[in-house]
Amino acid sequence: MLFAAIAAVAVAACTKPEFVTPEGTVLEDGTEVHYAKGLVIEEIYFTGSPVEGSESADDDQYIKLTNTSSETIYADRVMFVSNYVQGFITSTGAYYTYPELPDGLVVTDMFMIPGSGKDHPIAAGQSIVIAVHANKYVDENPNAVDLSKADFEFYDGENEFFPDTDNPDVPNLDVWFKSSYTITIFHHRGLESFAIVRVPEGETAESIMTSRHWSGEKHMIFKEWDFKDDIAEEDAFVIPAEWVLDAVNCTTPDSYYQNPWGPKFDAGWTGVGDFSDDVNNNGKSVARKVVDGRLIDSNNSTNDFKISTPSLK
């Protein structure tokens, strides 16, 4: 027994403690380390997988959410939203300016993870995948991602002009509001922003669309012209800052003009490629950086994200 005790002490003495890079450390590549806490957006795959012999890409798009805490987090009433304010310059050189942004997020599309409170647990360190379309794209395109076993999917319901495909084995997000009359799809060039928010009990789609409008005037600047227009209140809603879990701005250097949300939500932006029309961007995602096995989150996507191969491949 004595020898066993001595051996155990010796092993313990030789075991090095796990090293964790201190918060605020700046790595050689310029990354500033701040570790993520809670439910965050780990990865966004918006470019789609390239189709051989074509410049087009599939719609095998998804967003991956990860629980970076040490406890179980429930996805019930977590809502996916996208930006109303346009932050890019069009190919013609036109861009929009807006009044001062509110304290919250100005959003348009709103899709809710259903549940009564504890129906969809995400264990510590685990992730869920939300597919734009939960299809098995890889059956027809070897470059594509198999999304047939995603945790949730966007489904727009019945529409005779723009029919959507529903995977009965994958739960649908609840549609609280969508601005498009066509099928929901991420911008293939990534010229939009995404956020996840937790909606308090008692709030409904009707309450948001009734009492949380954003109004004002927007200007389209094009060459020497300034076209003024009212903000479409029926399409623009303000999500309170305290609801926000995580936000990520996406764009490309040649298209960037401004962030659609305030710096408290995301002070930077991320994207794939230098030019938005580069077909070589297809098949790439943006993914949160990992330091010492942990995701980082400094509320600045320029610091926190990198171009990646889609993790589901």
More confident residue, 101 or 79: 79
Q: Cα separation of 205 and 109, whole Å?
A: 11
More confident residue, 242 or 280: 242
What pLDDT does 181 receive?
Answer: 85
Tally: H helices and E strands in the chain: 3, 19
Mean pLDDT across 42-68: 95
Q: What confidence tens digit (pLDDT) does each residue in 4-13 have?
A: 444 444 444 4
What pLDDT does 109 receive?
Answer: 96
What pLDDT does 233 receive?
Answer: 76
What pLDDT does 8 receive?
Answer: 47
How is residue 126 written in tokens?
């685990």
- The phi, psi pair for 115, rounded to 5°, reads 140, 160
pLDDT at 93 over 80: yes
What pLDDT does 280 receive?
Answer: 87
Using 50, 70 and 90 to split pLDDT, how confident is the model at 55?
confident
Using 50, 70 and 90 to split pLDDT, how confident is the model at 161?
confident
- Coil vs helix vs strand at 188: coil
Mean pLDDT across 87-103: 91
What pLDDT does 120 receive?
Answer: 98
pLDDT at 250 over 90: yes
Using 50, 70 and 90 to split pLDDT, how confident is the model at 3?
very low
Angle at 73 (CA atoms; ends 131, 156), nearest 5 degrees: 25
> Do residues 76 and 119 touch, judged by C-beta distance below 8 A?
yes
What pLDDT does 166 receive?
Answer: 94
pLDDT at 28 over 70: yes
> Do residues 67 and 122 touch, judged by C-beta distance below 8 A?
yes
pLDDT at 16 over 70: no
pLDDT at 23 over 80: yes
What pLDDT does 9 receive?
Answer: 46
Domain boundaries, the chain: 34-82+106-200+240-308
34-82+106-200+240-308 has CATH 3.90.1150.10 classification = no
Q: What value does the mean pLDDT of the chain take?
A: 92
The closest of 308, 311, 263, 304 to 29, measured between CA atoms, is: 304
